[in-house]
Chain A
């Protein structure tokens, strides 16, 4: 502690490191910043600038081209799939998290479930699509098993490669992610709150409606938004699973990016990508705001 007796005493100021010269120790961070600049920030700038760039100077034509039926359909399909899988994943994940949270906090079950969720939340892509094709594809294990018992899940066509199938497959990584994100919020609920409700004459319904529900609501909504962004950004699983007919946004982008389809249009791909970035940015900002509210009560 420095004595702060007389404020008028002037001590010689410590010479600043390096004086006015360029501070040398900044060079230490330079390689990393250069790398991130080249491979993370530059691509982002390319997308944003490219969305507004035409053959000769800035243009809005890429953005106005978004106003086509199939582009809008892709966005609607993406939003539907993401919302459905986020809601299903959030509800099922919250139930699973509650089942875990009410158990022994140091028990084997909890450790196994959280470890498994850590792994499964990262699972996705071609392998996941194939797992579901092997399970409920037209000759999948479960499909055949049900067929032997007189149940045909594909009586109205193979929906696994359509949007409903995508929702089902996405829940496979959405539920574990929900468990991981929501479990800490459930742990923040104290048994004393329930006891307090009961001592005031409230039952289970009152507890969930007036105490636990409102406390958990921001965390639940926030987690649902995170799941939404998660599903909205996913590409590989859909690319491996979905039939060509009804693309979601990431697949539409890939169609415009690679010239295989003969209609390569990088400008439009960049405009679509910008659209995705805007939506994800809105969702993640709301998520951050909700997180702040959650941490007020549950920590």
Chain B
């Protein structure tokens, strides 16, 4: 490489990285700035917007509901997906492609389309079963399927499922023991990954809740934004930080996992189209 070219490359890289960094960091910084503004021009910085969060009972309720939804969705996802994936690996390898296709399908179907199709189903459930916000978990499990599938698939590929299960079976273990006491503990970081992703997705979900008329955290933030911009942005920052922390933990554990199975290291979520969150 000639010296002139190396210099050109260096200038190019610096400019691109600085501009990129500014584009991505300024909006997040601006949210902090906005949420600590005083009431009028020239007023000193204040944390009023943050302290008033607790004075909105609807908001606190929505936070509770969203955390509940996140917990239910994570548990339901694991209970539904993990045994199926292990079973397919051991007994039904023919079905692997089908399961993978079905799990990745929500990436390509726009969330808004799913809502249109689900709204009659939800109307039926609200009338004939119970009408509670936690019904949203049914849809959220579908929403997190692609991400959970990738995480769990990476975990299952990193261990020898067949040997583990045969060893356990030959010692007299039932299938329940094999799945939840033998295989699951061996892929705990993959399970954690799948659950953290589910939590992050559910906490950020707006489309389903808004259009099926349930008040989750994001819908409540949106409505609060019409009345009190400062507080709604403060809550946004808080929820964002929470999701970022979850995803940073995930990135950390993702690297640990990548060391076990280097061929799986690749992208965290290639092909993230579909826009569940967006």
Contacts and interface: CB of A to CB of B under 8 A. Distances in A.
A277 B109 contact: yes
A117 to B, nearest CB: 9
A120 B24 contact: yes
B244 A119 contact: yes
Most buried by B among A96, A126, A269: A126
A145 B241 CA distance: 25
Contact of B116 (A131, A234, A257, A281): A257
Contact of B5 (A26, A123, A204, A269): A204
Contacts of B31: 130-131, 134-135
Given A39-B141, A233-B273, A99 B13 contact: yes
Contact of A180 (B16, B26, B221, B268): B268
Interface in B216-240: 218, 221-222, 225, 229, 232-233, 236, 239-240
A103 B6 CA distance: 12
A74 interface: no
A106 to B, nearest CB: 12
Interface in B108-132: 108-121
Contacts of A25: 87, 91-92
Given A43-B117, A121-B272, A230-B272, A127 B13 contact: no
A79 interface: no
Contact of B278 (A43, A98, A124): A124
B211 A254 contact: yes
B72 interface: no
Contact of B141 (A35, A102, A120): A35
Contacts of A135: 26-27, 30-31
Interface size of B as a range: 35 or more
Interface string B244-275: 10011001000000000000001111111111
A126 B91 contact: no
Interface string B82-121: 0110011001100100010010011011111111111111
Given A39-B118, A39-B141, A130-B236, A124 B30 contact: no
A294 B107 CA distance: 21
B267 A257 contact: no
B138 interface: yes
Interface stretch (B56-64, B163-171, B200-208): B200-208
Interface string A30-41: 011101101110
B87 A118 contact: no
A175 B87 contact: no
A126 B112 contact: no
A82 to B, nearest CB: 11
Nearest to A30: B84
A44 B30 contact: no
B16 to A, nearest CB: 4
Nearest to A249: B112
B80 interface: yes
A126 B206 contact: yes
A253 to B, nearest CB: 6
A125 B277 contact: yes
A119 B142 contact: no
Contacts of A233: 110-112, 273-275, 278
Nearest to B223: A126
A125 B278 contact: yes
Contacts of B27: 131-132, 134-135, 172
Interface of A: 25-26, 28-29, 31-33, 35-36, 38-40, 42-47, 50, 92, 95-96, 98-99, 102-103, 109, 115-116, 118-128, 130-135, 140-142, 172-173, 175-177, 180-181, 184, 204, 226, 229-230, 232-237, 239-240, 250, 253-254, 257-258, 266, 269-270, 273, 276-277, 280-281, 284
